[in-house]
Amino acid sequence: MVQGALFVFGVDVTKGAGSRTKGLVMAFKLLDMAQARWRRITGAELLPLVCAGVTFVDGVQQERGDETQKDAA
Domain residue limits, the chain: 20-72
Local confidence band at 4 (pLDDT 50, 70, 90 cut-offs): low
User: Is pLDDT at 66 greater than 70 in this prediction?
Assistant: no
Distances (CA, A) of 73 to 14, 20, 37, 58, 70: 70, 65, 46, 19, 5
Could you read off the pLDDT of 10-40 as tens digits, one per residue?
A: 556 666 768 889 889 999 999 999 888 887 7
Q: CB-side exposure of 53: number of CA atoms within 13 Å?
A: 2
User: Is pLDDT at 69 greater than 60 in this prediction?
Assistant: no
Look at residues 11, 12, 15 and name the one whose alpha carbon lies nearest to residue 23. Answer: 15
Number of helices followed by number of strands (H, E) in the chain: 3, 2
